[in-house]
């Protein structure tokens, strides 16, 4: 149950392509009516044909009802991030390096309460050159005095996610994994009070392989050929994530999985 000093959060997984964007736009008003969140945070890193998020689609997701957007390893796939647009609601991975555009951690004021959102890319099985994520997160936490803190940990390995969450337990309010597009069944509150789930899942085509056309995705796996993936424009969309109620002192009072469907 929400109290005056709590913060309720609806966090949704990676938005994949047009079906992901449109199903989010259709499902989010219903989810807001059901859960009445104080803030909605959505991972947008696959919003533009599965590869990054253009500024046009950034604005589309905000119009659909997202308050804050996070990203991941496809952050650089949209060259719009280098252009002089307003990206003030986007948090990109903090461990991309000191020359990366935009911010890897941002503090927002939500109904008079301060919330810091941090996005980070994991190390295990992730291609690219990244600073160690926990070192980068520690650097933010040392200088942060927000009442609430959330980490979107964009990573492949569930083992890395739970170990990282245990390391941060009691110092952040909520730790959610993204990237795999597969919603996990391990939502819980860790011993020191931090809310946790290994992966939020996705907002994308329901009958798919991680939001992509099954035919092309299966052929890629069977033949070991790096075929470009196809992202259909229409179909039944699936919207997944968690709803959590956070309390001061970096504690999570409750966390439940969320799933909804919409035809687009």
Structural domains of the chain, with CATH: 7-263 (3.60.21.10)
Quote the CA–CA distance of 69 and 44 in Å, as a whole number. Answer: 6
Mean predicted lDDT score pLDDT of the chain: 96
Query: Mapped to the 3 state alphabet, what secondary structure does 52-100 carry?
Result: CCCHHHHHHHHHHCCCEEECCCCHHHCHHHHCCCCCCCEECEHHHCCCC
205, 235 in Cβ contact below 8 A? Answer: yes
Q: Is the pLDDT of residue 1 over 70?
A: no
Mean local confidence (pLDDT), 10-23 = 98
pTM of the predicted structure, to 2 decimals: 0.96
Mean local confidence (pLDDT), 126-141 = 91
Catalytic residue numbers?
74
| Residue 106, beta-bridge partner list | 117
Q: What is the pLDDT of residue 21?
A: 99
Quote the CA–CA distance of 244 and 51 in Å, as a whole number. Answer: 28
**Least reliable range by pLDDT among 7-11, 153-157, 211-215, 253-257:** 211-215
For residues 7-42, b (16+ Cβ closer than 10 Å) or e, as one string? Answer: bbbbbbbbbbbbbbbbbbbbbbeebeeebebbbbbb
Residue 86 to residues 66, 80, 82, Cα–Cα distance (Å): 15, 11, 11
166, 189 in Cβ contact below 8 A? Answer: no
Quote the CA–CA distance of 3 and 253 in Å, as a whole number. Answer: 10
CA-nearest of 188, 178, 164, 173 to 246 is 173
Please, which residues have CB within 8 angstroms of residue 219's CB and are 6 or more apart in sequence?
225, 227
Q: Is the pLDDT of residue 27 over 70?
A: yes
Residue 223 to residues 47, 126, 213, 218, 219, Cα–Cα distance (Å): 27, 22, 16, 8, 6
Distance of CA 8 to the CA centre of its chain: 16
Q: Is the pLDDT of residue 167 over 80?
A: yes
Specify the DSSP element, H or E, that contains 142. Answer: helix 133-142
Q: What is the pLDDT of residue 97?
A: 86
| Residue 196, beta-bridge partner list | 175, 188
Q: What is the pLDDT of residue 103?
A: 96
Of all residues in the chain, the percent with pLDDT exceeding 90 is 90
Mean local confidence (pLDDT), 133-145 = 97
Q: Is the pLDDT of residue 95 over 90?
A: yes
Distance of CA 78 to the CA centre of its chain: 17
Tens of pLDDT, residue by residue over 221-242, are 999 988 889 999 999 999 999 9
Q: Is the pLDDT of residue 137 over 70?
A: yes
Mean local confidence (pLDDT), 157-169 = 98
């Amino acid at each position: 149950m929400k109290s005056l000093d709590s913060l309720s959060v609806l966090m949704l997984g990676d938005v994949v392509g047009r079906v992901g964007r449109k199903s989010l736009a259709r499902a989010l008003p219903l989810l807001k009516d059901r859960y009445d969140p104080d803030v909605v945070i959505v991972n947008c890193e696959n919003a533009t044909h599965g590869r990054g998020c253009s500024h046009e689609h950034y604005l589309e997701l905000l119009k659909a009802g997202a308050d804050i957007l996070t990203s991941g390893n496809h952050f650089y796939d949209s060259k719009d991030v280098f252009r002089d647009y307003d990206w003030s609601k986007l948090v990109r991975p903090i461990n991309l390096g000191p020359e990366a555009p935009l911010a890897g951690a941002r503090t927002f004021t939500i109904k008079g309460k301060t919330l810091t959102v941090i996005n980070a890319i994991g190390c295990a099985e992730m291609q690219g050159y990244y600073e160690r994520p926990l070192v980068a997160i520690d650097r933010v936490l040392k200088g942060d005095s927000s009442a609430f803190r959330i980490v979107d940990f964009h990573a492949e390995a569930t083992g890395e996610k739970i170990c990282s969450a245990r390391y941060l337990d009691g110092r952040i309010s909520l730790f959610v994994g993204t990237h795999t597009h597969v919603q996990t069944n391990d939502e819980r509150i860790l011993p020191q009070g931090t809310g946790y789930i290994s992966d939020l899942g996705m907002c994308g085509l329901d009958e798919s392989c991680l939001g992509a056309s099954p035919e092309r995705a299966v052929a890629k796996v069977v033949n070991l050929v790096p075929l470009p993936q196809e992202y259909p424009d229409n179909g039944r969309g699936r919207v997944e994530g968690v709803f959590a109620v956070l309390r001061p002192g970096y504690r999570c009072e409750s966390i439940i999985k969320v799933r909804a469907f919409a035809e687009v």
